[in-house]
Amino acid sequence: MREVMAYIDAHRDRFVRELIEWVKIPSISDLPEHAPDVLRSAQHLAGEFKRWAPDQVRILPTEGHPAVYAEWLHAPGKPTLLVYGHHDVQPVDPLNEWLSPPFEPEIRDGQLYGRGTVDDKGQVFVHAKAIEAFVQTGAHRLPINLKIIVEGEEEIASCNLGQLLIDHAKLLEADYVCVSDTAMFGRGTPSLCVGLRGLAYFEITVRGPRSDVHSGSFGGAIANPANALARVVASLQNEDGSVAIPGFYDRVRALTSEERKQIAALGHDDAEWLAASGAPLAFGEPGYSTLERLWTRPSLDVCGLTGGFQGPGSKTIIPAVASAKVSCRLVPDQVPSEIARLFEAYVQSIAPRGVQVEVTFVSGAHPYLAPTTHPVFAKAQRAFSRAFGKPTVFIREGGTIPFVRTIADMTGKPCLLMGFGLPDENAHAPNERLMLENFHLGTKSAAYLYDELATLDGGG
């Protein structure tokens, strides 16, 4: 391993330069006009993988954006690891809040700024470069068999991933799965993520008059879609922050006192966490700590509100239509399709008079909890600690990676969530960044992981 580590050290700056070239491609999967960029991003990554798998790289088309697949399978009798990541990125608005343009990556204070640096191009690159380090040194070989799939639709709820996994089931067979798309608990704390929240995303649209009408000529005598929307949205939650939809909590698994103890032992600092976001105070479902709320309790958030006149000044109209985008984060054992039924039924039951209310279930993803007693988790902890020189903790994550639950359900294999981001690196927000130290130590962690897995049984 010494030679592998020396290679990673020696090529540190080049790895960053190469990552920058990839980040420059604005692969925003959510905006149709960026579809060619998502394809370009896939092609760029395929080129990167060809360094160590010249004939085993494929671009896998989907109904939407393409995924990239590569493999190295020359370690007979050794386990096969499937690595997952994504090469698509979030939209960038509000653009004016970025200190440097999102697709012109810039290094400031040891951090690489740019959309996709931490979520998830930088973390995909960790594996690409760890593999390169093995293949370019010593025996020119990896200690295990390795497959990597990098999808192009993670930021749009992996809408074609299920089909992709079915179409390429054989290709994706493996003993273990590793996903690098999460954050560590904090700087210098290697962390394996063992739980993810799921998602149910809705759009509520409220319609009134055919087009916008004068608020003098109609105000007070017809229902206003924007006022009605506010009433509907306000009714989704109770004043204390809990969700008011009947049945919403029915399947939520209660926390054990052991789990609460483990979470409390991590020593989360609310004040520091708040400072990172600028939010004035911690607020949520009563009876739970911040980490418990984020990791083990479902939530409901308006992601966007729109209706009527939004320019400067004071146009006096009743809007024809108003709408809200709403995301619910789900926890075990909530089921997205069931939450969708409850959500839709509730909204219709409270729909104000005089307007038409429409609910669209945009997308869903199941929550995930890892089988942490499986020996692969101890191996992964060891690998992570070898690179960072610190004990590796188990954490959960409030976000959603649809792939994890899907692949876990399909294969029954354990899934390692080994992430190298930090909680304050602005994934999904302006000024997204990646700490270059973590990119470097992450690359080493991935290399150690391959090394550790070689001691486990394989080929099962």
Q: Taking CA 343 as the corner, what is the angle to CA 340 and CA 347, rounded to the nearest 5 degrees?
A: 140
| Candidates 38-46, 186-194, 356-364, 446-454; binding stretch for its own copies (CB under 8 A) | 356-364
Spatial distance between the Cα atoms of 343 and 337, rounded to a whole number of angstroms: 10
Q: Which is nearer to its own copies, 61 or 209 (CB)?
A: 209
- 149, 164, 355, 435: residue in contact with its own copies (rule CB under 8 A): 355
| Candidates 11-19, 52-60, 63-71, 355-363; binding stretch for its own copies (CB under 8 A) | 355-363
Give yes or no for residue 191 binding its own copies (CB under 8 A). Answer: no
Spatial distance between the Cα atoms of 129 and 52, rounded to a whole number of angstroms: 10
- The residues pairing with 82 across neighbouring beta strands, listed in sequence order, are 147, 177
Q: Which is nearer to its own copies, 314 or 373 (CB)?
A: 314
* Beta strands, E only, 23-120: 57-60, 67-72, 80-86, 106-108, 111-113
Binding mask 388-417 for its own copies (x = CB under 8 A): ---------xxxx-----------------
- 35, 223, 255, 335: residue in contact with its own copies (rule CB under 8 A): 223
Alpha carbon 65 to chain centroid distance?
Answer: 17
Spatial distance between the Cα atoms of 426 and 101, rounded to a whole number of angstroms: 14
**Residue labelled with tokens 């984020």:** 294
Phi and psi, residue 361, nearest 5° = -90, 105
| Candidates 2-10, 170-178, 206-214, 373-381; binding stretch for its own copies (CB under 8 A) | 206-214
Give yes or no for residue 286 binding its own copies (CB under 8 A). Answer: no
| Candidates 65-73, 123-131, 217-225, 449-457; binding stretch for its own copies (CB under 8 A) | 217-225
Contact 353, 245 (CB under 8 A): no
- 354, 371, 391, 459: residue in contact with its own copies (rule CB under 8 A): 354
- 208, 332, 336, 402: residue in contact with its own copies (rule CB under 8 A): 208
- 5, 39, 60, 213: residue in contact with its own copies (rule CB under 8 A): 213
Structure tokens given for 437 = 């130290």
Give yes or no for residue 431 binding its own copies (CB under 8 A). Answer: yes
Q: Which is nearer to its own copies, 143 or 402 (CB)?
A: 402
Give yes or no for residue 162 binding its own copies (CB under 8 A). Answer: no
DSSP letter assigned to residue 142? -
| Candidates 49-57, 109-117, 233-241, 380-388; binding stretch for its own copies (CB under 8 A) | 233-241
Q: Which is nearer to its own copies, 322 or 441 (CB)?
A: 322
203: part of which helix (H) or strand (E)?
strand 198-207
Give yes or no for residue 283 binding its own copies (CB under 8 A). Answer: yes
**Binders in 85-144 for its own copies, by CB under 8 A:** 90-91, 93-94, 97
Give yes or no for residue 327 binding its own copies (CB under 8 A). Answer: yes
Q: Which is nearer to its own copies, 263 or 449 (CB)?
A: 263
Give yes or no for residue 349 binding its own copies (CB under 8 A). Answer: no
Give yes or no for residue 62 binding its own copies (CB under 8 A). Answer: no
3-state secondary structure 143-199: CCEEEEEEECCHHHCCCCHHHHHHHCCCCCCCCEEEECCCECCECCECEEEEEECEE
Smallest separation, CB 326 to its own copies (Å): 9
Smallest separation, CB 52 to its own copies (Å): 32
Give yes or no for residue 254 binding its own copies (CB under 8 A). Answer: no
381: part of which helix (H) or strand (E)?
helix 375-388
Taken as a whole, the chain contains a residue count of 460
Q: Which is nearer to its own copies, 164 or 229 (CB)?
A: 229
Q: Which is nearer to its own copies, 52 or 98 (CB)?
A: 98
The residues near 398 (Cβ < 8 Å, ≥ 6 apart) are: 197, 294, 295, 299, 329
Give yes or no for residue 50 binding its own copies (CB under 8 A). Answer: no
**Residue labelled with tokens 């320019």:** 311
SS3 46: helix
Give yes or no for residue 305 binding its own copies (CB under 8 A). Answer: yes
Q: Is 50 left (phi over 0), alpha (psi -120 to 50) or beta?
A: alpha
Alpha carbon 121 to chain centroid distance?
Answer: 12
Spatial distance between the Cα atoms of 108 and 112, rounded to a whole number of angstroms: 7
- 234, 264, 345, 410: residue in contact with its own copies (rule CB under 8 A): 234
| Candidates 14-22, 79-87, 293-301, 371-379; binding stretch for its own copies (CB under 8 A) | 293-301
- 40, 325, 374, 382: residue in contact with its own copies (rule CB under 8 A): 325
The residues near 191 (Cβ < 8 Å, ≥ 6 apart) are: 182, 183, 184, 185, 384, 392, 393, 394, 395, 419
Give yes or no for residue 63 binding its own copies (CB under 8 A). Answer: no
